[in-house]
Amino acid sequence: MRPNKLRQLLNEGKPTIGTHLVCAWPGLVEIVGQTGAFDYIEFVGEYAAWDIAGLEDWGRAIDLFPNMSSMFKVEEQTRGFIAQRAIDAGIQNVLFTDIRSADDARECVRLVRAETPDAGGVHGAGMRRAVGYLLEGGSQAWVDAMNDVVIAIMMEKKGAMDDLEAILQVEGVDMLQFGPSDYSVSIGKPGGGHLPEVQEAQKRMI
C-alpha cells in the first residue's frame, strides 16, 4: 500500500498545503506535482465531471509523486459509493459535504474504515487499483491504510454549526472546512457568504 503523505504530516504535527482541481485530466496532477509545492491535491468531484476509469488515472498520476497525496470532495448523495471507489482508485483522503450533525460525521468515518471489529467500518476489501487489483486486498496493510485515510468534513449547514462541539469529538474526523455559501443558504440568507454573521461562524469554527 502506498504511504499517505497527508496522514504522515498530520501525525507529525506539521502544517500542510493543498490545492484544488476541478478537472479530472491527470495531466494537471502531473503539472501540480512537478512544482513540488503541495502536499496534497483536492479533486473537487462534487462539481466536476468524472468517471471511475478517470479516478484510476488520477491515482496513477498521484503515484508519480511520493511526496504528494490526494483528496476527493464527495457530494452527499451516494457518498459511500463515491468515497469507497475514490479510495480504491488510489485517492487516499476524503472530504465529505453536507454534514448536518455529529451522527452524519460518524457515518462518514464508518463508510471509510475497514469492516473489522476494531475499526467498526463498512468498507469491504475490493479487488481494485489501490491494492494492486488483488495483491493486498483484505490484508492488514489495507486495513491500516483505511485507518490512515484523512477524513475532512465540510461545515456548511446550520445544523452542523449547531452541533460543532459534538462533531469535533467524533473519533476519526481530522479536518474541518467552512462553506460560507451553503451556510448562508441554510440560515435563510442566500448569497450572504460575506455577511458578518457568516464570517463570525467561520471564525468560531476555526
Give the tens place of pLDDT for each residue, 26-80.
999 999 999 999 999 999 999 999 999 999 999 999 999 999 999 999 999 999 9
- At residue 134, the pLDDT reads 86
Q: How many CB atoms lie within 10 A of CB 12?
A: 7
Q: Which residues of the chain have pLDDT under 50?
A: none
Classified as helix, coil or strand, 154 is: strand
- DSSP structural state of residue 134: G
pTM: 0.95
Classified as helix, coil or strand, 140 is: helix
Do the beta carbons of residue 6 and residue 66 sit within 8 Å? no
- At residue 126, the pLDDT reads 84
All cell numbers assigned to 52: 471511475
Q: How many CB atoms lie within 10 A of CB 13?
A: 6
All cell numbers assigned to 22: 476541478
